[in-house]
Amino acid sequence: EPEVTQTPSHQVTQMGQEVILRCVPISNHLYFYWYRQILGQKVEFLVSFYNNEISEKSEIFDDQFSVERPDGSNFTLKIRSTKLEDSAMYFCASSEETGLRGNTIYFGEGSWLTVV
Amino acid sequence: DQQVKQNSPSLSVQEGRISILNCDYTNSMFDYFLWYKKYPAEGPTFLISISSIKDKNEDGRFTVFLNKSAKHLSLHIVPSQPGDSAVYFCAASLYGGSQGNLIFGKGTKLSVKP
């Protein structure tokens, strides 16, 4: 079964450093997403991306965050200057262009970011 | 601001019995609801969904019930199996919102004992 893959699985970074989390969405998918889950909290939507631009973003997705699809396969989340509160599991997800809402969103296994 | 609430952080059920996971929401503009299952070290996996125009959707052992007047939905798993042990997330999307902008609850950890 096709899957969304994420790297790294775990990253520890110093506060103030830049972090790039990488994702390879399912190959025929056209919508891409990032979510995060702070330990013990709910999964939160960050951003959706379609046709090489952000289609929707949440309040969490402020100027320190950016997303990019640098080539035909990767989808990245960059955090410019990490803060302690950015420590979380970051999930990449992708979906087909068409389909019932919600049920075609496939999640990766997550990248656990620890900011120290 | 918890628009989607799962008030039970955990639930323990005997194998073969029914598991009932509950979810409440506050925003009447939600028009689509989903349940995701999550195993440790894995991402959420879609389980079942329901549109706000329906009150029940069934898929094998899984049934989701929606009570719009009470702003409540529940997931029934019958019969429960040990492999169902996971964290279950209720999620909702807003009418007119993008399909990816899901608002999740905090999850309920289900343990099915053999």
The DSSP secondary-structure symbol of A101 reads T
Cα A34 → chain centroid: 3
Q: Can you tell me the distance from the alpha carbon of B58 to that of B60, in angstroms, rounded to the nearest whole number? A: 6
Q: What is the pLDDT of residue B98?
A: 66
Tokens of A67: 């997303």
Of A74, A73, A70, A83, the C-alpha closest to A18 is: A83
The DSSP secondary-structure symbol of B42 reads S
Task: List residues bridging with B38 in a β-sheet.
Answer: B87
The one-letter code for the residue type at B64 is V
Nearest chain A CA: its distance from B93 CA (Å): 8
Interface test with B, best of A24, A47, A103 (most B CBs within 10 A): A103
Does residue B82 sit in helix, strand or coil?
A: helix
The residue of chain A nearest to residue B44, with distances taken between CA atoms, is A107
The backbone torsions φ and ψ at residue B77, rounded to the nearest 5 degrees and listed phi first, read -120, 115
Of A92, A116, A87, the C-alpha closest to A105 is: A92
Q: What is the pLDDT of residue A83?
A: 96
Answer yes or no: do A102 and B93 touch at CB < 8 A.
yes
Between residues 47 and 86 of chain B, which touch chain A (CB distance below 8 Å)?
49
The backbone torsions φ and ψ at residue A53, rounded to the nearest 5 degrees and listed phi first, read -150, 160
Q: Would you write out chain A's pLDDT as a tens digit for each of its 116 residues?
A: 779 999 999 999 999 999 999 999 998 888 999 999 999 888 999 999 988 999 889 999 999 999 999 887 899 999 999 999 999 999 999 988 655 565 678 899 999 999 99
Report pLDDT digits (tens) over B11-70: 999 999 999 999 999 999 998 899 999 998 889 998 999 999 999 999 999 999 999 999
**B72 band by pLDDT with thresholds 50, 70 and 90:** very high
